[in-house]
Chains A and B, each alone.
Chain A
């Protein structure tokens, strides 16, 4: 489904300005893009984290739709409760405003989704609630001070797995959450970024229109945690896709579809070198870490091509 900028500009901007996002934050862009697509008849619940903190410092709120925050690890369970209440109240004709349909969106950062909220998310997806879970993945616990999460890339410097004299940042690869969600056999799962706003809007619309649970993983470049120039957030999202670190794909009823195929392979170094969190990888002696990252990106890309029925990148 094609989404045009012209269409989106006609929609109400449902996230008020004046929120407390950092200069250069791409998370607020994600929220705006999601809300432009979802519209007013939407209930959104967000886990504790950057997006909750920047939008709701009492007595102010940036949300022009109903919003609920409960805790860090439970946005999926919380929204599943609201969605169930919608069905229960509708059945008895007791809705506060008559609606055939309301969009239910749960959100969380990677900490609230990959880590502490994974159980709550898994349960809500398995139960089949008619809701969309959107993870804004900035690859670490940014709100609490850039601690390592299971979404943090291999080799990245964080405050709990820092690069030092004898250790060189995170020593594990990140968890592949999107595929974990695909393994729940939900009708729709996808990956996108705010740079690819047309792709993001189309995926949000598709997820909302899909009956049952849907999951969208959105890469959210973070100027503070990744240490790049604050004007470069969207560029970081673009390069992440062009290097195949964060491919744009969707899985509908188990069918993988690649939404963007880079014209040529951009080495992962192009993404790493703009970010301070990978600075130490360019010191002599750390070449193997970059090689390992590249090896993993290539292997994951080959796997995705196979799953999406695309020709292999490097013929066997």
Chain B
């Protein structure tokens, strides 16, 4: 295992270090809270000569993603970052990046979408891009944000994958909170990430290619199948890259983390920083003799449905916590996917849903405690609402 430095960094700083260690050729950036600090830190690295990345300081997020696409199509390793409305503005080109199979790495520092305007954390921004063709990694802490940011390059650039990767971490809760983490040396990180060899480049004027043609009824579908298949192949790549990173860093990652889950009778499923709070509450219930557990999803796209169904099989009740609403839908986006993954699966548990933490509403111990209490009731056969709200004044 590699020697590592114990450091105190915010999530934004940690990701900036990871991006620096990956030595991207190009970074495109446009300011939006709470992502800004990450690019400030990265720009400092560039200004001080610690990394020789060319920065494109664009006039909008739409251009940030457009410039990223142009640079990646030229064969560059490219990073960018955004949040919330910025992600919404780049949305059109987010799809283009995946369609052109460009392994851009983007920090999506999760923040509520407008309106009303709100700068704090929820996952509504990421959920808006869940069908765009990117790989989505979610993080619980600054450590995970750093680790996932390094692994993102290896996953996205893998010849079997060639897809852009989003590193999601919670606005302010992770991005702006100083945390203690272990960081690889620049040499070890570079040995792990390695140089990037693009599959194609528009700079190869001796072998000219046309990128992004008009693709009609006779071929478009097949090209979309290419993206579908790449997501299927990504599972093995995520696992292999994570295993290699685990051996290097001592921090193992999989599609999700199972926390006291194996023998649990009731389980919570969620993504992001709330996992830390949930682990405390699970511990408290365990001390009371309640067999509670947590499944913290790291890989949201591609969605590891089979593994998730297997991990939750036979539970007496499962509660999915969504930090996003899907207006008019029956429950939050994570809930509908988890429940769908479990439908028809072996020993299918009942699945309930809680929508929580919108616009940065704090999710405290009591809220998660109430979820576990309700799951315990459900496990005993007590009926109630399937889709619920948490921590809201009604």
Q: What is A's interface to B at a CB cutoff of 8 Å?
A: 40-43, 45, 52-53, 56-59, 61, 63-71, 73-74, 77-89, 91-92, 94-97, 99, 102, 119-120, 122-124, 126-127
B306 adjacent to chain A (CB < 8 Å) = no
A45-B70, A57-B214, A81-B26 known; A70+B60 contact, CB < 8 A? no
Looking at B53, B57, B58, B92, which has the most chain A CB atoms within 10 Å of its CB? B58
A-side contacts of B67, CB under 8 Å: 77-78, 80-81, 84
A-side contacts of B78, CB under 8 Å: 81, 85
**Once bound together, how far apart are the Cα atoms of A180 and B193, in whole Å?**
45
Instruction: Check B93 against A69 for contact (C-beta < 8 Å).
Output: no
B23 to A: closest C-beta gap in Å = 9
Instruction: Check B211 against A67 for contact (C-beta < 8 Å).
Output: yes
Instruction: Check B203 against A86 for contact (C-beta < 8 Å).
Output: yes
B-side contacts of A82, CB under 8 Å: 70-71, 73-74, 202-203
**Once bound together, how far apart are the Cα atoms of A102 and B56, in whole Å?**
19
Instruction: Check A81 against B66 for contact (C-beta < 8 Å).
Output: yes
Main secondary structure of the interface of A (DSSP, over half): mixed
User: Of B66, B92, B201, which is within 8 A of A77 by CB?
Assistant: B66
A-side contacts of B344, CB under 8 Å: none
Instruction: Check B210 against A61 for contact (C-beta < 8 Å).
Output: yes
Instruction: Check B26 against A84 for contact (C-beta < 8 Å).
Output: yes
A16 to B: closest C-beta gap in Å = 11
User: Of A66, A77, A85, which is within 8 A of B26 by CB?
Assistant: A85
B216 adjacent to chain A (CB < 8 Å) = yes
Instruction: Check B205 against A71 for contact (C-beta < 8 Å).
Output: no
User: Of A42, A61, A80, A102, which is within 8 A of B70 by CB?
Assistant: A80
Looking at A64, A71, A88, which has the most chain B CB atoms within 10 Å of its CB? A88
The 7 closest A-B pairs by CB, nearest first: A81-B70, A123-B59, A85-B74, A81-B67, A74-B66, A77-B66, A56-B213
Binary interface profile of B, 20-64, with partner A (CB < 8 Å = 1, else 0)? 000001101000000000000000000000001110111110110
A-side contacts of B75, CB under 8 Å: 85, 89, 94, 96
B-side contacts of A83, CB under 8 Å: 70
A20 to B: closest C-beta gap in Å = 9
19 A-B residue pairs with Cβ-Cβ distance under 8 Å, sorted by A, are A43-B202, A43-B205, A63-B208, A66-B202, A67-B208, A70-B66, A77-B67, A78-B70, A81-B67, A82-B71, A84-B26, A84-B76, A85-B25, A85-B54, A88-B76, A92-B52, A94-B25, A120-B63, A126-B59
**Once bound together, how far apart are the Cα atoms of A92 and B215, in whole Å?**
35
A56-B210, A58-B216 known; A68+B66 contact, CB < 8 A? no
A64-B208, A77-B62, A84-B56 known; A96+B203 contact, CB < 8 A? yes
Task: Count how many chain B residues have C-beta atoms less than 8 Å from C-beta atoms of the other chain.
Answer: 45
B187 adjacent to chain A (CB < 8 Å) = no
Instruction: Check A66 against B203 for contact (C-beta < 8 Å).
Output: yes
B219 adjacent to chain A (CB < 8 Å) = yes
Binary interface profile of B, 95-132, with partner A (CB < 8 Å = 1, else 0)? 01000100000000000000000000000000000000
A58-B216, A59-B219, A64-B208 known; A43+B68 contact, CB < 8 A? no
User: Of A66, A70, A99, A126, which is within 8 A of B208 by CB?
Assistant: A66
Instruction: Check A120 against B25 for contact (C-beta < 8 Å).
Output: no
Binary interface profile of B, 359-379, with partner A (CB < 8 Å = 1, else 0)? 000000000000000000000
A71-B92, A71-B93, A84-B26 known; A58+B205 contact, CB < 8 A? no
B-side contacts of A77, CB under 8 Å: 58, 62-63, 66-67, 70
**Once bound together, how far apart are the Cα atoms of A42 and B206, in whole Å?**
10
B209 adjacent to chain A (CB < 8 Å) = yes
B32 to A: closest C-beta gap in Å = 16
A61-B210, A97-B205 known; A127+B57 contact, CB < 8 A? yes
Residue of A nearest to B197 (CB): A94
A-side contacts of B96, CB under 8 Å: 70-71
**Once bound together, how far apart are the Cα atoms of A104 and B71, in whole Å?**
12
B-side contacts of A40, CB under 8 Å: 205, 208
**Once bound together, how far apart are the Cα atoms of A97 and B205, in whole Å?**
7
**Once bound together, how far apart are the Cα atoms of A64 and B354, in whole Å?**
56
B375 to A: closest C-beta gap in Å = 45
User: Of A68, A96, A127, which is within 8 A of B204 by CB?
Assistant: A96
Residue of A nearest to B52 (CB): A91
**Once bound together, how far apart are the Cα atoms of A131 and B303, in whole Å?**
41
B289 adjacent to chain A (CB < 8 Å) = no
Residue of A nearest to B70 (CB): A81
Instruction: Check A70 against B93 for contact (C-beta < 8 Å).
Output: yes
**Once bound together, how far apart are the Cα atoms of A66 and B96, in whole Å?**
18
B69 adjacent to chain A (CB < 8 Å) = yes
Instruction: Check B56 against A42 for contact (C-beta < 8 Å).
Output: no
Instruction: Check A63 against B26 for contact (C-beta < 8 Å).
Output: no
Looking at B68, B70, B71, B204, which has the most chain A CB atoms within 10 Å of its CB? B70
B-side contacts of A53, CB under 8 Å: 214
Instruction: Check B211 against A88 for contact (C-beta < 8 Å).
Output: no
Looking at B53, B59, B209, B210, which has the most chain A CB atoms within 10 Å of its CB? B210
Instruction: Check B66 against A89 for contact (C-beta < 8 Å).
Output: no
A-side contacts of B202, CB under 8 Å: 43, 66-68, 82
Instruction: Check B208 against A81 for contact (C-beta < 8 Å).
Output: no
A33 to B: closest C-beta gap in Å = 19
**Once bound together, how far apart are the Cα atoms of A83 and B76, in whole Å?**
11
Interface residues of B in 309-346 (CB under 8 A from A): none
Residue of B nearest to A74 (CB): B66
B-side contacts of A124, CB under 8 Å: 63
